[in-house]
Amino acid sequence: MPVSLENLFKIGLLERREFEAGEIERLLGAAARSIVDARIALISTETRFDAAYRAIMQVGLAALAARAIT
């Protein structure tokens, strides 16, 4: 079975939800702050990785929200 959003909904890996106005902007802003945190050399590599991973997740959620709104 090819991977698609519909297939992910069907097998229960994603659930449908409504997105509020401004949510995409908030997610992208949070991702930008996470990237700033990931670049701080004074914190541990592990924490920097966590911040970078969080940014990726926030951008991904923003992309899903954009698709749901359009």
- 65 φψ region: left (φ > 0), alpha (ψ -120 to 50), beta (else): alpha
37-65 pLDDT per residue, tens? 999 999 999 999 999 999 999 999 999 88
Rounded to whole angstroms, what are the CA distances from 55 to 10, 33, 60, 63? 27, 8, 9, 12
Tokens at residue 35, please? 């990237």
Position 46 scores a pLDDT of 98
Position 27 scores a pLDDT of 97
- Of 27 and 18, the structure prediction assigns the larger pLDDT to 27
- How much is the pTM? 0.78
Position 14 scores a pLDDT of 80
The Cβ-side half-sphere exposure at 68, using a 13 Å CA radius, reads: 19
- Collapse the DSSP code of 15 into the 3-class scheme (helix H, G, I; strand E, B; otherwise coil) and give the result: coil
